[in-house]
Structure 1
Amino acid sequence: MFRTRRLAFASVAAAAATALVAGCASGTGGSSSGASGDTLTLWTHNAGNSAELDVVKKIIKDFNGSQGKYKVELQSFPQTDYNNSVVAAASARKLPCLLDVDGPNVANWAWGGYLAPIDVTGGQVPVEDQLASTVGTYQDKLYSFGFYDVALAFFARKSVLNEHGIRIPTMDKPWTKDEFDAGLAKLKKSGKFAYPLEMGTGGSGEWWPYAYSPQLQSFGGDLIDRNGYKTASGTLDGEESVQWGNWFQSLVTKGYMAKKSGADPNKDFLAGKSAIQWDGSWNATKNAEKLGDDLAIIPPVDFGKGPRIGGASWQWAMSSTCSNKEGAQEWLKFSRQTKYFVDYAKATSTIPATNEAATQIKDYQPGGEFAVLVQFAQKYATVRPATPAYPYISTEFQKAAQDILAGADPKNALGQAAKNIDNNLKTNNNYAG
C-alpha cells in the first residue's frame, strides 16, 4: 500500500500530474501492474542523455534476445520531469515494473510503497563487490543497485599553486582547514582572481547537499542524527555544524568565493577566472584535455573529521506493484554483468561500481590518469542519510545553506532547518513502519 505523502516531495501541479498519469496509462504495458503478461515496462530518466540511454537500450536488447519468456520495453523521461512522473504514477497505481531512482531517494520511495525489495543473487557480479555508495538499502533490505558513481574533487593548475607557494596535497596528506584558508588568502591577495575558489554556488536542488554537506560532515556535523534518524536538532545545528556554517559564509565575506557562481563554473575555471574548483569527476576528462599535465586532481579538505565527498547516483529498482516480479528480477540479474558496468562508465565518464570493471578502463585502472577518483569514491564517499525524510532534509539544507551565504546567522539558519526537519519527522511518526 502507498503511504500518504506528507511533505516528502513537492506537490505536483494538477495539470502536470494529469498529463503524466495520462502518459503512464498509454505507455507500453498498459496495466497498473507495470507488466502485460510477460512484457515488462521499464522507465528511465535518461531521455535527452543519449550516451547513457544507449547502454540501457543495449541491455534491454541483449536481455530480450537471450531468452523467449520475458520482453522488456522502454519508456524514457527527461530527468527534470522524472521524479514527478514517478510520484504521479504511484498515486494513480500506474508504476512500471522496472525503474531507476536517484540513490538518495531510495529510502523515501521504499517507505512510500513505490519499491519492492529485490533479490539479485545469481547475477554475474555479487552486490558485495560494489562500491557501498552504489547499493540502495532500507531497513536492511536491498532495494536497488547502480552501475556507477561519481566523485567530487578539487581541480587546480599545478603551476598556479606552485607560483603562490601552495602545497599540492595528496590522499596521504590532504589540505587541513587552516592550510586551505591560507592558500585562498594568498590567491586572493595576488589580485589575479576575482574569486580564487569556485564551488558551483549557482547550482540548485540536490547539488547543495551533495556538494556541501560532506564538508559539514568533515567538520563533525551532519544533516540528521543517524542513530535512529529521529532528530536533526543537536546535529544539524550542533557546534560542529555551526562551525561549518561560519566557515562557509566566510568564503563569501572574505571574497574567496562568489555568493552565486556563473552559469558554467567549469568553463570559468578553464578560462582562468578561478584558481581552484570544487567539481565532479564528470569534468575530469575535459579538464585534462585542456590543461594536460598541469592539471592537479586534489582530494577534499580534511576539516577535522577526515575528507568527505557525497556518494550515490542513479540506481535500478523494481516497483512494489509489478505483477511479474520474477521477470523484473531476471532482467536485473541479467544486467549485472561486468561488461555493462564497463559500458556505463565509458559512455558517461563515470566511475564504475566495481574494481573489476575499473581495471578494464584505461583511465580508471591502477596507474590510470583518473585512478585517484576511484580511490576518492572508495575512501571518502558518504551516503546521504538513508531515511524516508531525506527529500525534505535536502530541501531544508539547501535553503539554510543559501541563507547562510546571503548573510544569515549560521546558528539561526541551521537551527530553523533542524526544527523544520524535526516537525516533519513528528508529522510522519518518524517514518516508522
Structure 2
Amino acid sequence: MASVALAAATALVAGCATGSGGSASGASGNTLTLWTHNAGNSAELDVVKKIIKEFNGSQSKYKVKLQAFPQSDYNNSVVAAASAHKLPCLLDVDGPNVPNWAWGGYLSPIDVSGSQVPLSDQLPSTVGRYKNKVYGFGFYDVALTYFARKSVLNKYDIRIPTTDKPWTKAEFDSALTKLKKSGKFAYPLEMGTGGSGEWWPYAYSPQLESFGGDLIDRDGYKTASGTLDGKNSQEWASWFRSLVTKGYIAKKSGADPNKDFLAGKSAIQWDGSWNAAKNANKLGDDLAIIPPVDFGNGPKIGGASWQWAMSASCSNKAGAQAWLKFSRQTKYFVDYAKATGTLPGTDAAAKQVEGYQPGGKFNVLVQYARKYAVVRPVTPAYPYISTEFQKAAQDILAGADPKNALGQAAKDIDNNLRTNNNYAG
C-alpha cells in the first residue's frame, strides 16, 4: 500500500545528486510529462488520468502527458533519470523520501497558493516539507490500526479500547497472554513480519517511538547514537523479540496476514486502514478497529504517503504549478479516497466518503491520522535509516542482542551522516 513503498531511493544517499544541474527538461514547449508509480494500480491510475484529462480540457495553453511505471521500478527510474538530467516536470514521490529528493536537487519548491484547497486544510502528514519549504502534497494518507473481533475480546474478558482510552502495555501483554493460553489461535497476534522494505519502519518504529525511542535524534538530525540504541529503544527491542519467544507472533508471517486474520488464525492484527472496508464486509459489526497501544509515551502511527511534486529541472514550472493547483480540488481528494480505500486528505473530502464522514464506522481512522501520526524523520538520510532499521529489527526478531543490533545500526547511520556532512546544503 501507499506508505509502504520499497525504499529503493537509498541510491541517493551515496552523495548529493545533481538533478538541478544541466539543461532543463520535462517539457516540450507547453507539453509537460508526468510520471507516476501507479502502472500496476488501475484504480489510482484512473484518478490520475481523470485529473490530467480534465486539466487538459479546462484550458488550451498547457498539455500534460502521462507515463506510468510499476511501483517496484519507479524510484530507480527516477534516480536514473535525475542522473541523466531527464526528469519529467511532474512526478509523485513517497512522502518519507521528499527530503532526500529535495536535498538531492531532484525537486523544486512549489507554490499552490490560491488553489481551491488550502494546504492548511490537509492532514499534516500529507504535506511534504523540507527546510521550511513545501515540496509536495498528497491527496490521502493511511493509518495503522489493530483489527480484532469484538466477540473474541469479550469472550476472553479483554477490554475493547477506545481512542480516548487505548490499551496500555500491561493491558496489551495481558490480552496476548489470555489469547495464547486459550490455544484457539496459531498466534494471538499478527504483526506482518513477513513484509519487507518500508513496511518495517512504517509498522514498527511508531511502537519504538511509543516506548520513548526514535530512529534518530530529531534535534538537528545529526546522530542516531544515544537515541536508536538508547534505553527506551532497547526496551522496545526486548519487547519486540519477546513476542516471538513467548509464541505471540510468528517470526515471519505468512504471505497474506490479513487473510490469516479473517480465517481466525490470529486474534488481533496490526495492519492498515487499507483493509478496513474488506474486514468490515466480512465481519460486520463484530469488527473492532482499535487504536495503537500506548507503550508509555502515547499511541503512535506512521504518517505520510505518496505526494505530487515538481522537478527542479522542469523547463516549464509555470505549467507544472498550474497542473498542481488545478488538481487541488475537493472532488479529486474524494476520488482518490474512494478509488484506493485510503483516508481522505481533508475533512471536507471525508464528509463525502462513505464510512469516513463524522460518525462513520471508519472515521476513527481519520482521527488516528490526526492524533497519532508521526512522520518518519525529515532528513535526506531517511532512506538509509530505513534500511538500517529494517536490518536491525529483523536481526532482533531472529535472536540478535537488542543492544548490539541497535548499536550497530546507530553507528552505521552516524557514519552515513558524517560521510554526507550531515546532508548540509
TM-score, with structure 2 as normaliser: 0.95
Shift of 1:361: 1.2
Spell out, residue by residue over 1:103-145, the C-alpha distance to the aligned partner (whole angstroms, 9 max, x if none): 0000000000000000000100000110010000000000000
Q: Which amino acid in 1 is paired with 2:126?
A: T
TM-score, with structure 1 as normaliser: 0.93
**Contact 1:198 1:265 (C-alpha < 8 Å) held by counterparts:** yes
| 1:338-353 equivalence runs, <5 A | 338-353=330-345
Residue 232 of structure 1 is matched in structure 2 by 224
Spell out, residue by residue over 1:184-230, the C-alpha distance to the aligned partner (whole angstroms, 9 max, x if none): 00000011112110010000000000000000000000000000000
Spell out, residue by residue over 1:257-308, the C-alpha distance to the aligned partner (whole angstroms, 9 max, x if none): 0000000000000000000000000000110011001000000000000000
Q: Does 1:160 align with 2:152?
A: yes
Alpha-carbon distance in 1 for matches of 2:83, 2:353: 42
| 1:49-198 equivalence runs, <5 A | 49-198=41-190
Residue 9 of structure 1 is matched in structure 2 by 10
**Contact 2:206 2:374 (C-alpha < 8 Å) held by counterparts:** yes
Shift of 1:10: 3.9
Residues 8 and 75 of structure 1: CA distance in aligned 2, closer, same or farther (over 3 Å): closer
| CA RMSD across the alignment | 1.2
Residue 14 of structure 1 is matched in structure 2 by none
Alpha-carbon distance in 1 for matches of 2:352, 2:34: 28
Alpha-carbon distance in 1 for matches of 2:234, 2:80: 38
Q: Does 1:383 align with 2:375?
A: yes
Q: Does 1:373 align with 2:365?
A: yes
Shift of 1:96: 0.1
Alpha-carbon distance in 2 for matches of 1:35, 1:248: 49
Shift of 1:9: 1.7
**Contact 1:148 1:351 (C-alpha < 8 Å) held by counterparts:** yes
Task: Give the count of matched residue pairs.
Answer: 409
Q: Which amino acid in 2 is paired with 1:337?
A: Q
Alpha-carbon distance in 1 for matches of 2:24, 2:193: 41
Residue of structure 1 aligned with 2:281, choices 276, 286, 289: 289
Q: Does 1:394 align with 2:386?
A: yes
SS of the residue corresponding to residue 38 of structure 2 reads strand
Alpha-carbon distance in 2 for matches of 1:32, 1:327: 14
| 1:250-265 equivalence runs, <5 A | 250-265=242-257
Spell out, residue by residue over 1:53-83, the C-alpha distance to the aligned partner (whole angstroms, 9 max, x if none): 0000000000000000000000000000000
Alpha-carbon distance in 1 for matches of 2:407, 2:124: 31
Displaced runs of 4 or more, over 6 A: none
Alpha-carbon distance in 2 for matches of 1:353, 1:44: 19
Shift of 1:32: 5.8
Residue 3 of structure 2 is matched in structure 1 by none
Q: Which amino acid in 2 is paired with 1:220?
A: G
Residue of structure 1 aligned with 2:263, choices 259, 271, 276: 271
Q: Which amino acid in 2 is paired with 1:124?
A: Q
Residue 220 of structure 1 is matched in structure 2 by 212
Alpha-carbon distance in 2 for matches of 1:36, 1:83: 23
Residue 306 of structure 2 is matched in structure 1 by 314
Alpha-carbon distance in 1 for matches of 2:308, 2:118: 15
SS of the residue corresponding to residue 156 of structure 1 reads strand
**Contact 2:9 2:79 (C-alpha < 8 Å) held by counterparts:** no
SS of the residue corresponding to residue 375 of structure 1 reads helix
Spell out, residue by residue over 1:7-40, the C-alpha distance to the aligned partner (whole angstroms, 9 max, x if none): 97248xxxxxxxxxxxxxxxxxxx9600000000
Residue 424 of structure 2 is matched in structure 1 by 432
Q: Which amino acid in 2 is paired with 1:264?
A: D
**Contact 1:146 1:313 (C-alpha < 8 Å) held by counterparts:** yes
**Contact 1:137 1:144 (C-alpha < 8 Å) held by counterparts:** yes
Q: Which amino acid in 2 is paired with 1:343?
A: D
Alpha-carbon distance in 2 for matches of 1:53, 1:272: 34
**Contact 2:93 2:306 (C-alpha < 8 Å) held by counterparts:** yes
Alpha-carbon distance in 2 for matches of 1:132, 1:431: 24
Spell out, residue by residue over 1:360-398, the C-alpha distance to the aligned partner (whole angstroms, 9 max, x if none): 112100111101011011111100001000000000000
What stretches of structure 2 of length at least 5 have no aligned partner? 1-7, 13-22
Residue 24 of structure 1 is matched in structure 2 by none
Alpha-carbon distance in 1 for matches of 2:96, 2:103: 13
Shift of 1:357: 0.5
Residue of structure 2 aligned with 1:45, choices 29, 37, 51: 37
**Contact 2:9 2:76 (C-alpha < 8 Å) held by counterparts:** no
Alpha-carbon distance in 2 for matches of 1:157, 1:262: 20
| 1:411-422 equivalence runs, <5 A | 411-422=403-414
**Contact 1:8 1:389 (C-alpha < 8 Å) held by counterparts:** no
Spell out, residue by residue over 1:229-271, the C-alpha distance to the aligned partner (whole angstroms, 9 max, x if none): 0000000001100000000000000000000000000000000
Q: Which amino acid in 1 is paired with 2:165?
A: K
Q: Which amino acid in 2 is paired with 1:369?
A: K
Residue 15 of structure 2 is matched in structure 1 by none
